[in-house]
Structure 1
Amino acid sequence: MRRVAVEPRPDWQAQVERLGFAFHTIDGETYWDESAAYAFTLEEIERDIETPTGEIEQLCFSFIERAIDDDAILTRLAIPQPQWALIRDSWRRGDRNLYGRLDLAYDGKGPAKLLEYNADTPTALFESGVVQWDWLEQAMARGALPPGCDQFNSLHERLIAAFAALRDPSPYRLHLTCVRDSAEDKGTVDYLQDCAVQAGLDARFTYIEEIGLLSDGRFCDGANLPIETLFKLYPWEWLFRENYADALATSRCQFVEPPWKALLSNKGLLACLWEMEPGHPNLLPAFFEGDPGCSGLGPRHVRKPLYSREGANIALIERGRVLDSDDGPYGAEGYVLQDAAILPAYDGNYAVLGSWLVASQPCGLCIREDTTPITKNSSRFLPHYIEP
């Protein structure tokens, strides 16, 4: 694994915009950064990223089997008790999941270490599946990269196949939703809607603020059309606290991601996995704050809220002193403490790898980079390639 300087395309903005990638620059700052790329060997991808990603996913399933009937675990995860039955029923029915992203610390030597699991509402999907692949093809065509390069990237094809599986055994209508006023969220949902259409679904978009409740208990869009299946780029922990949370279980709506994903998108998962598999090569020691086990953590550790998005309210601490942190609205439900991973630094840039799963199968890679060890919503996206 190495960071390689690459000459950006002189018209790169126009090139990514032609794909529909409108949020390449956020608040005047570069988000899509093709002035460099990360190069990997095939062995690094297969041995150190793809294989551990699949193993961690299976470990997560073992955790759900353990947690689903354990009230103590659900309580520690701060899951509202009125939603326990919804989660249990979803798992027992075998509700299908669509996609997720493991964030990993990896230095090219390994083993990769799990930082967190973005299991419910991960973004950076369109740029991972489409934009960086288009960049790779153009980079080879113009001689910026040698011929024969590849990419760990079958995201697009896997998403279409996963949507087709959701359609079986008969076609149905799919709604997709996100909040207003977020270009990144809307761009992600637009891409997923396109994948769903390619899979043969009747896919329709509605903002979450437009969703209502019919007299028969079903959710509906702004035109009062009943919602049968809903992809929601909106976290379960937020839905659980909405005014209509009591209607979730009786709405006859199939949710994507399914309710059981609420157990995996919780940072408490990190402590639970370590309790299950202490010493696992791809896990970092982690404990719920206040657990006696916290005394065994190294002098540098990370304090993470059970619920947090894009680095919010996360603090990097060394011997009681905060080295880096980010503000945000999270933390009321509690925290976990996790040993700090050593992120590789390249010319002052810290890289976090995002390993994608679609229908629980590893199938893609993205890289976010920042000048600090905490990856935030302002961190840049850099493409990658596999050397021939």
Structure 2
Amino acid sequence: MLQIDIEPREGWEERLLELGFDFYEVSSKHPYWCENQYFQLSREQVDHIDNVTEKLHELAIQAVAHVFDNDLLHLFGLPEKHYDLLRRSWTNDKSYLYGRFDFSWDGIGDPKMLEYNAQTPTSLFELSVAAWDWMRQLVAEGKLPHHADQFNLLDERIITQFAYLREAKDLESMILHFACDETSSEDRRTVYYLAQCAEEVGFETVIVDINEIQLSVDHKFLDHNSKQIFNLFSLYPYEFMLLDCYGDFIEESGCKFIEPIWKVLLSSKALLPIMWKLNPGHPNLLACYFSNEKEAGLIEHRVTKPIYSREGANIQIKFKEEMVEGTVGNYGNEGFITQEYAPLAQFKNGWVVIGSWVIGKTGCGISFRESDKLITNDVARFVPHIII
């Protein structure tokens, strides 16, 4: 796996804005989109991580089944009053849209699973639209080999999956609402992109700010125009939603969720020690325990993570008892897990986490985030890739 310098495209900022990529920099000091470098992989490397991704997805689903079969919901720090809601969600609806694994991998050894965000993963638009357009332009200009490719099947697979979900969920209405916090440019672009894909298979889509969703007197969810929400894709984390007062009316609302509510478990880092317990020594998993278990203290080089967190917040890396790196934030009330430390691949500008995408049950693409620090945070750079 190589990181290669390349001359930026002329007028690349304007091109990104044409595509709707208005968040290509976090600030003037922190570019988000990387225009002057890319990663190069072989087809064999891509096939390898794709195979690992699909197998780990199967193991993650098996771990969720194990949680329900053995009454382990108390390990996830969720309100007990919603346990029955979660159980019914799992029993009644096992259809879903997408997720993204995060891996430590240098292209040579076994990819190591860091975590799985299977409910609110972003950087989807960046890969599916912006990176694909970047490669096509540079191939056309002769700045990349004419036979260059990308592992980027997201667009067609998402459209296919929406077609499947339309039938699998037995929807009464073809109106599909997409909700996010519209103050986040990245979240807004993600839901707009997904809505465009859903329209390809006949959905009528409505975008709504999560903060403008209302509750009617008969406990139905309403959008900003006071229209009932029958079907909803929400980029709002379910662990937050289940703590919200509206969470008490999820079932009564009659709303069908494109990502079923049980997916909160698939995105929780509480699933990592369960996966390790079920698959000890698996070459693509890291030793992992709940932080209050005695085994957690026996891991010399370890990473402590909140059960729920975003953008690298509240994480600590320790070698024996020496603090190597740590971050602050507002997460951790539900508890922590301790995971074996896996070194990220290091290049001249930082450390890289590889995101591996799953649509339905199928691996469909990889993306690269590069950070100046060992803990990948909200100013990590998105770097495009090609396959040679």
Q: Normalised by the shorter chain, which TM-score bucket?
A: over 0.9
Paired residue type of 2:210: I
Identity of aligned residues (%): 39
Q: Which residue of 2 aligns with 1:121?
A: 120
Query: Is 1:308 the equivalent of 2:309?
Result: yes
The answer (yes or no) to whether the contact 1:303–1:336 under 8 Å persists in 2 is: yes
Q: Which residue of 2 aligns with 1:327?
A: 328
Shift of 1:87: 1.4
Shift of 1:348: 4.1
Shift of 1:217: 2.2
Alignment partners' CA distance in 2, 1:121 and 1:341: 24
Query: Is 1:364 the equivalent of 2:365?
Result: yes
Alignment partners' CA distance in 2, 1:116 and 1:295: 20
Alignment partners' CA distance in 2, 1:53 and 1:7: 32
Q: Which residue of 2 aligns with 1:14?
A: 14
Q: Which residue of 1 aligns with 2:200?
A: 198
Q: Which residue of 2 aligns with 1:2?
A: 2
Alignment partners' CA distance in 1, 2:232 and 2:333: 28
The answer (yes or no) to whether the contact 1:173–1:203 under 8 Å persists in 2 is: yes
Shift of 1:183: 1.0
Q: Which residue of 2 aligns with 1:346?
A: 347
Alignment partners' CA distance in 1, 2:253 and 2:323: 45
The answer (yes or no) to whether the contact 1:164–1:201 under 8 Å persists in 2 is: no
Shift of 1:321: 2.2
Paired residue type of 2:84: A
Query: Is 1:53 the equivalent of 2:50?
Result: no
**Aligned partner of residue 244 in structure 1, secondary structure:** helix
Q: Which residue of 1 aligns with 2:271?
A: 269
The answer (yes or no) to whether the contact 1:348–1:371 under 8 Å persists in 2 is: yes
TM-score by length of 2: 0.96
The answer (yes or no) to whether the contact 1:312–1:328 under 8 Å persists in 2 is: yes
**Aligned partner of residue 330 in structure 1, secondary structure:** coil
Give unmatched runs, 5+ long, in structure 2. Answer: none
Paired residue type of 2:338: L
Paired residue type of 2:332: G
What's the CA shift string for 1:317-361, capped at 9, x where partnerless? 122222112221101111001011111111141010000011121
**Aligned partner of residue 85 in structure 2, secondary structure:** helix
Shift of 1:94: 2.4
Paired residue type of 2:136: E
Q: Which residue of 1 aligns with 2:210?
A: 208
Paired residue type of 2:40: A
Q: Which residue of 2 aligns with 1:286?
A: 288
Greater mean deviation of Cα atoms: 253-262 or 278-287: 253-262
Alignment partners' CA distance in 2, 1:371 and 1:179: 27
What's the CA shift string for 1:39-64, capped at 9, x where partnerless? 100000102x1001000010011111
Query: Is 1:337 the equivalent of 2:338?
Result: yes
The answer (yes or no) to whether the contact 2:94–2:260 under 8 Å persists in 1 is: yes
Q: Which residue of 1 aligns with 2:23?
A: 23
Q: Which residue of 1 aligns with 2:140?
A: 141
What's the CA shift string for 1:137-159, capped at 9, x where partnerless? 11111122111011111101111
CA RMSD of aligned residues (A): 1.2
Query: Is 1:227 the equivalent of 2:217?
Result: no
The answer (yes or no) to whether the contact 2:110–2:284 under 8 Å persists in 1 is: yes
Alignment partners' CA distance in 1, 2:175 and 2:96: 17
Alignment partners' CA distance in 2, 1:110 and 1:125: 26
Paired residue type of 1:22: D
Structure 1 residues 46-125: aligned runs within 5 Å: 46-47=47-48, 49-71=49-71, 73-125=72-124
Paired residue type of 1:210: E
The answer (yes or no) to whether the contact 2:174–2:202 under 8 Å persists in 1 is: no
Alignment partners' CA distance in 2, 1:93 and 1:120: 18
| Residues 252/225 of structure 1: CA separation in 2 closer, same or farther (3 Å cut) | same
Paired residue type of 1:205: I
Greater mean deviation of Cα atoms: 352-361 or 162-171: 162-171
Alignment partners' CA distance in 2, 1:310 and 1:258: 23
Shift of 1:199: 2.0
Query: Is 1:40 the equivalent of 2:30?
Result: no
The answer (yes or no) to whether the contact 1:313–1:327 under 8 Å persists in 2 is: yes
Alignment partners' CA distance in 1, 2:14 and 2:182: 25
What's the CA shift string for 1:356-380, capped at 9, x where partnerless? 0111211011100011111111100
**Aligned partner of residue 23 in structure 1, secondary structure:** coil
Greater mean deviation of Cα atoms: 61-70 or 285-294: 61-70
The answer (yes or no) to whether the contact 2:165–2:258 under 8 Å persists in 1 is: no
Paired residue type of 1:347: K
| Residues 260/249 of structure 1: CA separation in 2 closer, same or farther (3 Å cut) | same
Shift of 1:226: 0.8
Q: Which residue of 1 aligns with 2:149?
A: 150
What's the CA shift string for 1:165-216, capped at 9, x where partnerless? 2222566110001113111111111111111112210110111111111222
The answer (yes or no) to whether the contact 1:104–1:114 under 8 Å persists in 2 is: yes
The answer (yes or no) to whether the contact 2:215–2:222 under 8 Å persists in 1 is: yes
Number of residue equivalences: 384
The answer (yes or no) to whether the contact 1:8–1:34 under 8 Å persists in 2 is: yes
1:249 to 232, 245, 251: 251
